[in-house]
Structure 1
Amino acid sequence: MKTRVNRQSALLAAGLMISAVSTNAEAVKSQSNTISGTITYAGNEAIPKGQVKIFLKDSQTQSKSQVTVSQTQLISTGKAKTLAYTFAMPSKTKVSQVQLIEVRLERADGRLLARGSEKVREERTPTDVMLYKVVY
């Protein structure tokens, strides 16, 4: 018994193939625009309890205060020695423009406990940031 291919089944198959290709292309595109790495605390201690704010900064600006391109947040429970992060770069920015990741650890009341920054490395290379205690 031969299988008959009619116009409807051919168009359905073509549509599914186009959808699969575009989904795969979108996944590859989104992977190249991510920055990932780990956050550790100086002295190999547990990261204190608080809110971890991660800023993606454009360091090509001429002013001292760098322009924040994007940001994300994590919560530290005070028990982990490292925190992993994945940061999606905005679609309008180029990898060469964004050069700095700044991490700030703040208490619930907003007081800064620790900070650290690191230059963004090449694509698909983890950017690890060390937090250092802030002295007032």
Structure 2
Amino acid sequence: MRHLFDRRMLMIATGLLAAGIGSTSETAMAQPALVHGTVTFAGNEHIPEGRLVFDLREMENRNNLDELADNAPLQSTGKQGEISYSVNLPAALKPSNKLVIVARLERADGWLIARGSARLAPDQPADITLHKVMY
């Protein structure tokens, strides 16, 4: 009488099962983290007209890790006192106290109007206050 499963079939099934479990756990870990918060202007003034661009930096060496390019810049009309935002971090990074999100408010011609930053903390909003840039 021939068995339904022989040793070779059992080994193939075990290998396929292990590969499937490994690939699903990597897929779950590769989901990008979402960072959200609000942007305000110093002194509770309206945020000037321009576009908000976000990038990510490390706290220790102040190197620019990544401009969060996959997120479209937000537009300020000059009439808002507060703007809510949400950006996706690169898949390899997780929010930690070593990372800082930096917001730059730029005019249409690229000149910097204001800048602000906030430390990232897991599961907490990163509220940024913009300060006017002095040239």
Structure-1-length-normalised TM-score: 0.68
CA change 1:132–1:97 in 2 (3 A) is closer
Query: How do 1:18-97 residues align onto structure 2 when only pairs under 5 Å count?
Result: 30=31, 33-60=33-60, 62=61, 65-71=62-68, 72=71, 73-96=73-96
Structure 1: runs of 5 or more not aligned? 1-21
Task: Quote the Cα distance in structure 2 between the aligned partners of 1:94 and 1:133.
Answer: 30
Q: State the shift of 1:68 in Å.
A: 2.5
Tell which structure's C-alpha radius of gyration is larger.
2
Q: Percent identity?
A: 37
Give the CA RMSD over aligned residues. Answer: 2.5
Structure 2: runs of 5 or more not aligned? 1-23
CA change 1:86–1:56 in 2 (3 A) is same
Q: Is 1:128 aligned to 2:127, yes or no?
A: yes
Task: Quote the Cα distance in structure 2 between the aligned partners of 1:96 and 1:129.
Answer: 16
Q: 2:113 is paired with a residue of what secondary structure?
A: strand
Q: 2:53 is paired with a residue of what secondary structure?
A: strand
Count of aligned pairs: 107
Structure-2-length-normalised TM-score: 0.68
Q: 1:95 is paired with a residue of what secondary structure?
A: coil
The letter for the 1-side match of 2:66 is V
Q: 2:43 is paired with a residue of what secondary structure?
A: helix
Q: 1:43 is paired with a residue of what secondary structure?
A: helix
